[in-house]
């Protein structure tokens, strides 16, 4: 954790204690070598910085809505993701929230969304993004609450949810391609470094299947085998597909 003179130092101290990490106030060479990643407050956002590029921008959760999108609520339920979630679905649990972009896309289409994130660092970044989302004028004018976030292992949280959500959405870490390809986006590489390979994805699917009320949706790259066996339906995007398992 870095304090660079921006934001509330006391709040950063509490965050450092919550994450059980030191709060540093220097970017001297000996300090830079202490960790692979740092959290800092920059430009009104909680920001994740990577070793070797601490002077540059870093990454934060972005739930911004631009231009004509602000004048349209809910967004049209179009495309393979909306088809996979289902038009009659109300509550969607994103059990692998990550940077929250799929959660936000689902939320924008008018679904009620509950996010689960097991990485404490990613959860803090997500919570900061949700806080800023709640402060956006368009959301306040509509009187709509942003998605909720639960922190912890989805395999432990899903069995104790009150009621069965209509849909549980899974986006586990993609397996590597057999052939060399272009590097993944920086945000995805960092997420992989924080979370690992999701080696427990089969157990996660089993927990989701038991907890879901109507369906489980799994996002997979177009080159990977289905996670839960042969799906009942699949909807293909440009580089990914959405496998649907109906209860």
133-188 pLDDT, tens digit each: 999 988 999 899 999 999 999 999 999 999 999 999 999 987 766 554 544 566 66
Do 81 and 19 fall into the same domain?
A: no
Is 2 contained in some domain?
Answer: no
Do 76 and 196 fall into the same domain?
A: yes
pTM of structure: 0.88
Q: Please state the domain count of the chain.
A: 2
Is 22 contained in some domain?
Answer: yes
Bridge partner list, 48: 39, 59
Do 134 and 213 fall into the same domain?
A: yes
Question: What pLDDT is recorded for position 148?
Answer: 97
Do 33 and 74 fall into the same domain?
A: no
Question: What pLDDT is recorded for position 29?
Answer: 59
Is 56 contained in some domain?
Answer: no
What the block records as the tokens of 10 is 């006391």
Question: What pLDDT is recorded for position 173?
Answer: 81
Question: What pLDDT is recorded for position 179?
Answer: 55
Average pLDDT along the chain, 247 residues, taken 10 residues at a time: 88 94 74 76 90 74 73 86 96 96 96 96 96 92 94 97 96 71 57 66 96 98 93 94 97
Its domain, for residue 43, covers: 9-50
Bridge partner list, 213: none
Calpha distance 92→217 (Å, rounded): 10
Contacts of 142 (CB under 8 A, 6+ apart): 73
Do 117 and 162 fall into the same domain?
A: yes
Is 58 contained in some domain?
Answer: no
Do 159 and 235 fall into the same domain?
A: yes
Calpha distance 154→218 (Å, rounded): 14
Do 185 and 221 fall into the same domain?
A: yes
Do 78 and 179 fall into the same domain?
A: yes
Burial label for 54, CB within 10 Å (0-12, 13-18, 19+), is middle
Do 242 and 164 fall into the same domain?
A: yes
* CATH number reported for the structural domain that contains residue 104 in this entry: 3.40.50.150
Calpha distance 179→138 (Å, rounded): 44
Question: What pLDDT is recorded for position 192?
Answer: 61
Do 39 and 75 fall into the same domain?
A: no
Question: What pLDDT is recorded for position 158?
Answer: 98
Q: Residue 195's CB: how many other CB atoms inside 10 A?
A: 17
- Do the beta carbons of residue 62 and residue 105 sit within 8 Å? no
Is 88 contained in some domain?
Answer: yes
- Do the beta carbons of residue 85 and residue 169 sit within 8 Å? yes
Do 26 and 117 fall into the same domain?
A: no
Is 33 contained in some domain?
Answer: yes
Question: What pLDDT is recorded for position 221?
Answer: 92
Do 27 and 85 fall into the same domain?
A: no
Is 4 contained in some domain?
Answer: no
């Amino acid at each position: 954790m870095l304090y660079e003179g921006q934001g509330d130092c006391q709040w950063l101290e509490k965050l450092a204690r919550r994450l059980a990490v030191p709060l540093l106030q220097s970017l001297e060479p000996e300090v830079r070598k202490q960790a692979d990643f740092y959290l800092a407050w920059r430009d009104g956002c909680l920001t994740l910085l990577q070793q070797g590029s601490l002077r540059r921008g870093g990454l934060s959760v972005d739930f911004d809505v631009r231009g004509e999108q602000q004048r349209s609520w809910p967004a049209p339920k179009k495309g393979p993701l909306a088809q996979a979630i289902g038009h009659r679905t109300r509550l969607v649990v994103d059990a692998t929230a990550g940077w929250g972009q799929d959660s936000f896309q689902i939320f924008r289409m008018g679904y009620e969304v509950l996010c689960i994130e097991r990485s404490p660092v990613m959860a803090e970044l997500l919570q900061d993004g949700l806080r800023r989302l709640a402060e956006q004028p368009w959301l306040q004018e509509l009187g709509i609450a942003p998605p909720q976030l639960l922190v912890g292992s989805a395999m432990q949280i899903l069995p104790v949810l009150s009621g069965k959500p209509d849909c549980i959405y899974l986006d586990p870490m993609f397996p590597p391609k057999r052939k060399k390809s272009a590097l993944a986006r920086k945000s995805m590489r960092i997420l992989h470094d924080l979370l690992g390979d999701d080696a427990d994805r089969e157990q996660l699917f089993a927990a989701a299947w038991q907890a879901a009320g109507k369906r489980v949706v799994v996002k997979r790259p177009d080159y990977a085998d289905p996670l839960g066996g042969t799906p009942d339906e699949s909807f293909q995007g440009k580089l990914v597909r959405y496998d649907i398992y109906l209860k």
